Structure 1
Amino acid sequence: MTADDLGAWLVKGNADQTDLAGRFARDPSIRSWCVQPSYRTALMRAGQPVVFWASGSRAGLPYGVWGVGRLDGEPQRDEPGGGLWVPLDLEVWPPDRRLRREVLRADGRLADLEVLRQPQGSNPSYLTTAQFAALREYC
C-alpha cells in the first residue's frame, strides 16, 4: 500500500464485541476512532476519505460498509504511550443504506478488498483508488 494508490482508509469496528448498532442509532456521528500504529498511520492526512466497516458474525446485522467520511486531522495520542486515534468527520448511514459484505464480495472490482481477504488484519485497512471508485457507485 502506498500513498499514490490510496483511494480511502478503512477503519473497523466489531459489532459482536460492542453494540455498534445501538450506539449509531443514538448518534450516527463518528468524530474519532482508534487505530493501530503502523507505517499506514504515518500516511494519514486531513481530508483523505475514510470508510467505516462493521465486522462481526451474528445473524441479522448488515456487516460491511456503514458509512463514508473524511479524516479531520492526523492521528493523535491522548498521552505519551497512550492509544492512537484519528479525528473523523463521518456519519453512519441508516441500516437500510448500509452495504453488506456479501454484495461487495460479489462485485469483481471489490472482491479482493483487504478487509475481505484478511478480516483480522490491520486497522486501518485501505481501499485502492480503483476500489474506492467502485464503492462510490454504491453510495
Structure 2
Amino acid sequence: MPPERSVTLEALGAWVIKCNPRKTSLSPMCAAGEAKPSWCIADNYRSRLIRPGQRVLFWVSAHPRRGIWGAGRITGDPSVADGQLHVPVRIPLFAEPLTAATLSALPGLCSMEVFRSPQQANPSWVNARELALIEPLLPSA
C-alpha cells in the first residue's frame, strides 16, 4: 500500500515558499517589493502537483517578525536549473508581514505545517480551510 499523501489538489489552498534570511538575503527582495522569481524546491510528489496559477504564500522564518511576508502565484512549471528543481513565482511583498504570532493565536491555524515542520524543504502548504482563514488577514501588497 503506498504511503498516505497529505497534499492533494483537492485539499490544497496554497503552496508556502519558505525563506530563511540567514541563507537568502531579504534586503534585495524588500527593495524590489517582491520575492525573488524562482525558488528551489524538493523533487517529490508535491513538486509534481505544482501548476501555474496556483496560490503561493511567502513565509519568512528565523526572523523576529517571522510569518507571511507576501502572497502571489506560481507562474510556470517547475524545472531543473543547476541540478536542482526550481519553481517560478510572482510574489509581491506586503508593507507589513502577517506574523506567526498573529496566525498561531487563531483557532485552526496553530496546526499549519510551517508550525509543525518548520525545517521541512520547500514547498510547504496550507489547506483550503487554512487559506480561507488566512485570506481575510492578508495585507495589501
1:10-29 equivalent positions in 2, closer than 5 A: 10-20=16-26, 22-29=27-34
Quote the Cα distance in structure 2 between the aligned partners of 1:138 and 1:105: 13
Unpaired runs of at least 5, structure 1: none
CA contact (8 A) 1:8 1:132 kept: yes
Aligned residue for 1:137, secondary structure, equals: helix
Give identity over the alignment, percent: 35
Per the alignment, do residues 117 and 43 of structure 1 end up closer, same or farther by CA in structure 2, a change over 3 Å counting? same
Tell me the TM-score normalized by structure 2: 0.87
Residue matched to 2:42: 36
Quote the Cα distance in structure 1 between the aligned partners of 2:118 and 2:23: 15
Q: Which moved more, 1:123-132 or 1:23-32?
A: 23-32
Which amino acid is 1:34 matched to? C
Residue matched to 1:134: 133
Runs of 4+ in 1 over 6 A off after TM superposition: none
Residue matched to 2:80: 77
Aligned residue for 1:2, secondary structure, equals: coil
Which amino acid is 2:69 matched to? W
Deviation at 1:129, TM superposition (A): 0.2
Which amino acid is 1:69 matched to? G
Tell me the TM-score normalized by structure 1: 0.88
Q: How many residues align?
A: 131
Quote the Cα distance in structure 1 between the aligned partners of 2:38 and 2:25: 17
Quote the Cα distance in structure 2 between the aligned partners of 1:120 and 1:29: 23
Q: Higher helix fraction: Structure 1 or Structure 2?
A: 1
Cα deviation per residue 1:58-104 (whole Å; 9 max; x = unaligned)?
Answer: 5xx3111000100001101125xx1111111111112xx21110111
Which amino acid is 1:136 matched to? E
